[in-house]
Amino acid sequence: MSLIQRYRGYLPVGPSTPIISLGEGATPLVAADRLRAVAGIPPRVLLKCEGTLPTGSFKDRGMTMAISKAVELGARGVMCASTGNTAASAAAYAAKADLPCVVLIPGGAIALGKLSQACTHGARVLAVKGNFDDCLPIVVELTEKGDFALVNSINPYRLQGQKTAAFEICDALGCAPTYHAIPVGNAGNISAYWMGFTEYREAGVTRTTPRMLGFQAAGAAPMVLGHPVARPETIATAIRIGNPANWEKARRAIDESGGRIDSVTDDEILEAYEMLARLEGVFCEPASAASVAGVLKLSRAGYFDGADDAVVTCTLTGHGLKDPDTAMKRAERPKEIEATSEAVLRAVGLGEKMEALTT
Ligand X SMILES: *Cc1c(COP(=O)(O)O)cnc(C)c1O
Among 353, 336, 322, which Cα is nearest to 236's? 322
Q: Which of 54, 113, 177, 183 touches ligand X (CB under 6 A)?
A: 183
Q: Which is nearer to ligand X, 5 or 120 (CB)?
A: 120
Q: For 342, left (φ over 0), alpha (ψ -120 to 50), or beta?
A: alpha
Interface of this chain with ligand X, residues 303 to 342, rule: CB under 6 A:
317-318
How many chain residues interact with ligand X (CB under 6 A)?
18
> What's the CA dihedral at 126, 130, 133, 135 to 10 degrees?
-20
Interface of this chain with ligand X, residues 286 to 305, rule: CB under 6 A:
287-288
Sheet containing 77-81: order of strands = 124-128, 101-106, 77-81, 148-150
Task: State the DSSP H helix or E strand holding residue 180, giving kind and residue range, or none if neither.
Answer: strand 179-183
- Residue 357 Cβ, how far from ligand X at the closest point, in Å? 35
Instruction: Give the CA distances from residue 270 to residues 259, 296, 327, in Å, rounded to whole numbers and listed in that order.
Output: 24, 12, 10
Q: For 108, left (φ over 0), alpha (ψ -120 to 50), or beta?
A: left
Residue 242 engages ligand X in binding (rule: CB under 6 A): no
- Residue 140 Cβ, how far from ligand X at the closest point, in Å? 16
Q: Which of 238, 270, 295, 312 touches ligand X (CB under 6 A)?
A: 238
Stretch that binds ligand X, among 182-190, 205-213, 275-283, 296-304 (CB under 6 A): 182-190
Label each residue of 331-358 as H, E or C.
Answer: CCCCCCCCCCHHHHHHHHCECCCCCCEC
Among 160, 151, 52, 36, which Cα is nearest to 102's? 151
* x/- letters, 57..86, toward ligand X (CB under 6 A): x-x-------------------------x-
Stretch that binds ligand X, among 7-15, 124-132, 183-191, 227-235 (CB under 6 A): 183-191
Residue 155 engages ligand X in binding (rule: CB under 6 A): no
Q: Which is nearer to ligand X, 85 or 155 (CB)?
A: 85
Residue 239 engages ligand X in binding (rule: CB under 6 A): yes
Binding site for ligand X (CB under 6 A): 57, 59, 85, 153, 183-189, 238-239, 285, 287-288, 317-318
